[in-house]
Amino acid sequence: MHVQQVVKSEGMQMSNGVPDTIVDNPRISEGFVASFAFLVILITVTTICLSFIKSSFDYFTGRRSVNRTVQCTRISVISESGSSKPSMNFSRFLSFNEFREYYKDLVSDSYYKLSLEFESLKVHGDEMIPCTEGDRGKNHSKNRFVNILPFDNTRVLLSTLEGVPFSDYINANYVSGYYSSDVKKEGPKHEYIATQGPLKNTIDDFWRLCWESKSKCIVMLTRLVDRDREKCAHYWPTSSSPVMYGEIEVEVLSESPESYSVHKWIVMEFKLRHKEQERCVRHYQFQTWPDFESVEPPEALVYFVREVRTYAPYPTLGKPFAPIIIHCSAGVGRTGTFIGVDIAMNQIKMNKAINIPSIVSKMRKERVWMVQTEQQYICIYKCAIAILDEIETVEDADI
């Protein structure tokens, strides 16, 4: 048969029209191998590209993968001994001279040791803090990022609105400061409220937070849009006309730009009204601090923190006190850095000694991932060094 002839010509033995033995055709074999190899390479390259695109998206949006069944977040536990990583005694403050030497050692070799110290603050250990409320019911839609949820034990509870389920929720945590009760028994329990940048559907809740906490100062550490992505909703009036946000009326009384070096911020005065009461609130918006990064030069951040404190002074025994509301986009990175610098300034002033890892560790027990990146952690160190430089300059001038 013709078919048998063709097959035989290709090196096959036929028995009743069925090949008994198959002998590879070099041309067919080589073509198949080449096609298969190309397909494998194509699939591999495509997988790598998709993985890179997803990783880039997660990095810039903060939407890293989250196990939705896990209802708690592991907090940082500092190892004080038994580690090969460079570490200080986290329960001991360093004098100014010790701190300078310690910092020089940390930043040597391209910040390698400081990187290890920052890594040691990350998630490890056995202690767990639940954050279940942020994922319950309608609360899920009130979170800007799925992996930044408030710890249950320190979250700020709003008053419950009648007939509105889950209305006590806002993505915000109380954060202790230098004068808090765990450090100074006569001080307030909480000096700060760390929260996310409001979403369009949480603007009313944000103003309830401001009113119910009796805060007189809001510190905003983000632009509304950064890298073509919304970082915070525009939550205040765009003109001088009052606007109602739920039951809170907000009016812009004044607006003035300020700056230090290359950095700029806007100071606004708001008047809040609720029923028959009214209250003035000052709003600071730092406009030149990119997401995930630090402030250069660090003196600009030191100057900004001090300016905020001229309006919202530290707690004084016997006088009423309300926490400062601080937010960036997620309410953890730049927010934690600002608070860290503020606490470090008090350590320098009151203790004449510094312990930065302890500051960050304590903050992370009250809100997840405070001081989010290594650059922000380094920024706190640089600000502390800048303050020490100022002190030495003044002392030298007095001699």
Helix (H) or strand (E) segment spanning residue 110: helix 96-120
C-beta separation of 291 from 231 below 8 A? yes
| Closest listed residue to residue 84, CA positions, set 127, 64, 113 | 113
Residue 328 annotated as catalytic: yes
- Closest of 339, 340, 304, 307 to residue 325, by C-alpha: 339
Q: Give Cβ neighbours of residue 304 (< 8 Å, ≥ 6 apart).
A: 260, 263, 265, 284, 286
Closest CA to 107 of 394, 291, 382, 302: 382
Q: Give me the catalytic one of 131, 232, 328, 383.
A: 328
CA-only gyration radius of the chain, Å:
29
- SS3 assignment for 166-231: CCCCCCEEEECCCCCCCCCCCCCCCCEEEECCCCHHHHHHHHHHHHHCCCCEEEECCCCEECCEEC
Q: What share of the chain is helix, strand, coil (3-state, %, to 5)?
A: 40, 20, 40
**What is the Cα–Cα distance from 139 to 151, expressed in whole angstroms?**
13
- Backbone dihedral region for residue 59 (phi beyond 0: left; psi -120 to 50: alpha; all else: beta): alpha
**Sign of the dihedral defined by the CA atoms of residues 273, 274, 277, 282, in that order:** negative
Whole-number Å distance between alpha carbons of 332 and 148: 8
Which residues are within 8 A (CB) of 293 and not within 5 positions of it... i.e. 6 or more apart?
A: 373, 375, 376
Q: What angle do CA 82, 87, 89 make, to 5 degrees?
A: 85
CA 371/CA 115 separation, integer angstroms: 13
Report residue 306 CA to chain centroid gap: 22
Q: Which residues are catalytic?
A: 328
